[in-house]
Chains A and B, each alone.
Chain A
Amino acid sequence: MFLTKFSGLAAHAIKDLVKAPSFTWRTSYVPVIQNNYAQALRRKSFCTTADKVSEEGREEKQKVSVTFVDKDGEEIHVKVPFGMSMLEAAHENDIELEGACEGSLACSTCHVIVMDVDYYNKLEDPADEENDMLDLAFGLTDTSRLGCQIIAKPEIDGIRLALPVATRNFAVDGYKPKPH
C-alpha cells in the first residue's frame, strides 16, 4: 500500500542508497529507536549515523513491507525501517512474538518461519550461534529463523513470516508426550 506511491523508485534505487552511505538524506528512524534492541540493531545496521533529516515520503522508501501470520492464521501487514529486526518490528506492532532474551541470541523464543523459500534464500545463512539456538526452537522447519536475527533490508521487501503454532509437543530435549 505505502510503496505503491513510490513504485517509480524501484528496489535497485533503494539498493543504491544502501551502497552509498554518504547519501545525504537519511531517515529519522534511528533516533526513534530507544528500546532494548537498539544496541543489537546498531551493530547490525548499515546506516550508523543518525542525521535528523526527515523528508516526508522519503522515509517510506527506507522501509520494507513485512507480513506476519499469527497463530490464528491472521495476516498483519507492517512497514519496517531498514536495520530494524523482525523481533522489534513485531513488538512495535503488538504482534505476539516472544523475545525472552531481548535479541541477544540466547533463547530461541523469537522463532519465525519464512513462508517463501525464495525469501529464505535471500537472507544471509544463519551463523553457528543462531543454528545452536534454532536447534531448540519449537516446530523447527527448513525455513525457520530467529526473528531477532532477521534485519530489514531492501531484499526482503514483501517477506512473510509465520509465528509457529504451539504444537503441544515438547519433543525438544528428549521429552515426548505420552498418550494418556
Chain B
Amino acid sequence: MALFGKLRWISRRFTTLAATPLRICVVGSGPAGFYTAEKILKAHKGVEVDIVDRLPTPFGLVRSGVAPDHPETKIVINQFSRVAQNDRCSFLGNVSVGSSVSLPELHEMYNAVVLAYGAESDRTLGIPGEELGGIYAAREFVWWYNGHPDCRNLAPDLTSSDTAVILGQGNVALDVARILLRPTMELAKTDIASHALAALEESSIRKVYLVGRRGPVQAACTAKELREVLGIKDISIQVKQADLVTTPADEVEMKNNRIRRRVYELISKAASSGHSPPLPGQRELHLVFFRKPDRFLESEDRSGHVAGVRLEETTLQGYDLGKQIAVGNGVFEDISCGMVLKSIGYKSVAIDGLPFDHDKGIVPNVGGRVLADSFKDVPQYETGLYVCGWLKRGPTGIIGTNLYCAEETVASISEDIERGVLTSNSTKPGREGLLQLLDSRNIRVVQFDDWKRIDTEEKRGGNLKNKPREKLATWEELLQVARK
C-alpha cells in the first residue's frame, strides 16, 4: 500500500516535472552557490537552476579572495564552469539581489531561492581611532589585489612608512602578510591585479607585525598557509621565545586538535631556527602574541592618518568549551606604523525581506532552511527559502567546507520536494520572468557566454605579460568586454 502510494507519487511527480520544471534560484556564485547548484542538478533531473551574482564575474571568493599565488586552489573553477554549462543551469551576472531585484520579487518568480551571497562586510574592533586613514579591512585589501571592481580605487598607503600591522592571525591575515612581503618578481607571475602589482613594487613596507590576542597554540591559521609565509625568500622571522611557553590548558588544546598542534610546532621551529637579528634591509615578519588592540594612534604631522597601534598585553583565562579567552592585564605598548590591516573576520550583510541574526551575522536557519522566527520553540520556516555557505555558517571554512554545507542544504530541499512542500504545481516564471523584469529596469545581464568573453580577454592579456590572466578590474571594462 505504502509502496503503491509512493509509486503513484513518483509518477505524478514525473508528469508534473515534465510539464513545468521546478525552478530554483541560487543567489551568489561562490563555492556555496555552485556546490548547491551542482547537487540539486544531480539529485533532481527535472529541476532548473539559475545562479545570479551581483558581479559580472562568477566564482565568488575563488576569484576575489583566494590569493593570486595559489593557482592550484583556483582549479575548482573548472568544475564550477561545467556546472554553469549544464543545460538546466544558467549564470546571470550583474544582478544584485536587494537592488536590481528584491528578494520578495525573486521569491515570487521561483519555486525556491537559495541564498549563498557570502559575507561582504567586516567585523569591527570598536576601539578609538578605527576610522583613521591608513586603516583598512583585510577584505578591502584582498579585493584590491585580486581586482574586485569595488576596490579598484582603494589606493592603500604603502609608502608612508616601512611598517604595517596586521591584526588577527587567521589565514586571511597570513595571505595579506605574504602579499606585502613576497618579492614582487614572484607576484608578477601570478594573476594579481596589475594596479596592485605596480603599487607593491613601489611599496616601502619592510616590516610586518602579525598580531594575535591569544597565543601560538590558538593562532587561527592552518599549517599550509603558515609554512608558506615562514618560507618567504630571504625573510627574517621574529618570535619572542617567552610567548612559546605553554600551559596545561594549551597542552589539552593541542592534544585535541591536530591543526593547533602542527601550527604550534611550526611556530616553535621557526622561532628556534631564525632568532638572529634581521640584517639591514632584510624584510621582517614579527609574530606577536598575547596582545589585543586598544586604540589607534593618530599621526601628528598628518592629521586623520594612523601612526601606530596601542596594544594591551593579555593573559588567557577560562577553559570553557575549549576556548581560552584573552583578557587584558593593563600593560600597554605601542607599535608605530603607517598602515593597519584589520583581519579579524568577515561579516554578512542583511538584505531587505530576509530574516537576519545581526549578532552572529548570519541568516538564522536549521539545516539550511531559513527560520521565519528564530525565537519560537517550534521552528517556523520561510517556505522555499534556503541558505548556504558563509551566509549560513558564518565566515569560516575552506572551499571544501561549502561542499558539505551544500549537501546539507540540498538534503533539506530534497526532503521538502518529497514532502510536497516544494512543488511546481504553481507555475513560476523563473528565468524568463527574471530576465524580463531586469530588462524593464535596464539591467544588462551578463550570462556565462559573456563571462567567457571576459575570461578569454583576461587570459589574452595575461599571455602578453607571462601571467595566467590580466584581470579586468573596473566595472566599465568588465561590462564592456562582456557586451562585445
Contacts and interface: CB of A to CB of B under 8 A. Distances in A.
Same complex origin of A and B: yes
Interface range on chain B: under 10, 10 to 19, 20 to 34, or 35 or more?
20 to 34
A100 B223 contact: no
Given A140-B258, A170-B393, A135 B223 contact: yes
Contacts of B397: 170, 172-173, 175
Contacts of A100: 75-76, 79, 399-400, 403
Interface string B409-449: 00000000000000000000000000000000000000000
B407 interface: yes
B78 A102 contact: yes
B224 A132 contact: yes
Nearest to B261: A135
A102 B75 CA distance: 7
Contact of A109 (B224, B366, B403): B403
Given A102-B75, A104-B72, A135-B222, A128 B401 contact: no
Nearest to B76: A100
Contacts of B76: 100-101, 107
Nearest to A107: B400
B116 interface: no
A28 interface: no
Contacts of B396: 173-175
Contacts, number: 86
B227 interface: yes
A98 interface: yes
Nearest to A134: B258
A109 B396 CA distance: 17
Interface in B214-232: 220, 222-224, 227
Given A100-B75, A135-B223, A108 B394 contact: no
A41 B394 CA distance: 37
A106 interface: yes
A170 B405 contact: yes
Interface string A143-175: 000000000000000000000001110101111
A173 B401 contact: yes
Contacts of B401: 138, 170, 172-173, 175
A166 B406 CA distance: 11
B43 to A, nearest CB: 12
A128 B400 CA distance: 20
B8 to A, nearest CB: 26
A113 B269 CA distance: 30
A109 B75 CA distance: 13
B223 A175 contact: no
A130 B258 CA distance: 14
B404 A129 contact: no
Nearest to A136: B398
Contacts of B124: none
B262 interface: yes
Contacts of B259: 135-136, 172
Contact of A132 (B75, B227, B366, B405): B227
B73 interface: yes
A25 to B, nearest CB: 35
Contacts of A170: 393, 397, 401, 404-405
B75 A104 contact: yes
Given A170-B405, A172-B259, A172-B401, 4 more contacts: A101-B75, A131-B223, A166-B408, A170-B404
Interface of B: 70, 72-73, 75-76, 78-79, 220, 222-224, 227, 258-259, 262, 366, 379, 393-394, 396-401, 403-405, 407-408
11 contacts: A100-B79, A100-B400, A101-B73, A107-B73, A109-B400, A128-B223, A131-B262, A136-B259, A167-B404, A175-B396, A180-B366
8 shortest interchain CB distances as A-B pairs: A106-B72, A132-B224, A104-B72, A100-B76, A109-B400, A132-B223, A173-B396, A135-B259
